[in-house]
Amino acid sequence: MKLLKVMKDHTEQHLDNLAKKALKSSLLESPSNDFTANIMKQIEPIKIGSSTVYKPLISKFGWFGIIAILIGISVYVMFGNVDSSPLLESIDYSVISNNKVTDVLSGIKFSKTLMYAIGFFGLVFFIQIPLMKHLMNKRFEL
């Protein structure tokens, strides 16, 4: 065991001496005076015309279509003759009200203060979204 330790110490001492010799023989290198200028010349400037143009995932026409469909369904449910619709009669809505999750959640009572706090934070959150969007657009505009 001692022999292994002596060999390990000898190897470490040899590596340490070798590292010291290598560091003494190497000189401290520094870049030339115009190093930054040479690098900046090699970087190609970004062409503004070739930048990626933002294209939304859902176009304005698509959003109008989605909104029109939702409004149409809402108007049909509110003013239409929904009771006689065979499609709506075939759906079993008891699954929504008669399950274990709604039974557990129906026993939870929240104080008025908590409800006001949740409503206030929700309102502030939805006010901050347009403000942050405006700030980011202003910060990153070219």
Domain co-membership, 96 together with 133: no
Q: What is the pLDDT of residue 118?
A: 95
Let me know if residue 116 belongs to a domain: yes
Q: Say if 99 falls within a structural domain.
A: yes
Place of tokens 């239409």: 80
**Domain presence at residue 97:** yes
Are 99 and 118 in a shared domain?
no
Residue 115 lies in a domain: yes
- pTM of the predicted model as reported, rounded to 2 decimal places: 0.31
76 assigned to some structural domain = yes
**Closest residue by Cα to residue 75 from 67, 65, 86, 64:** 67
Q: Which residue has the higher pLDDT, 24 or 117?
A: 117
Q: Is residue 34 part of a domain?
A: no
* Residues of the domain holding 139: 109-142
pLDDT in tens, 30-67: 778 888 888 887 776 666 556 667 788 999 999 999 99
- Give pLDDT, residue 35: 85
Task: Let me know: does 127 contact 134? Beta carbons within 8 Å.
Answer: no
Domain count, the chain: 2
Tens of pLDDT, residue by residue over 73-125, are 888 877 776 666 666 677 777 777 777 887 788 888 889 999 999 999 999 99
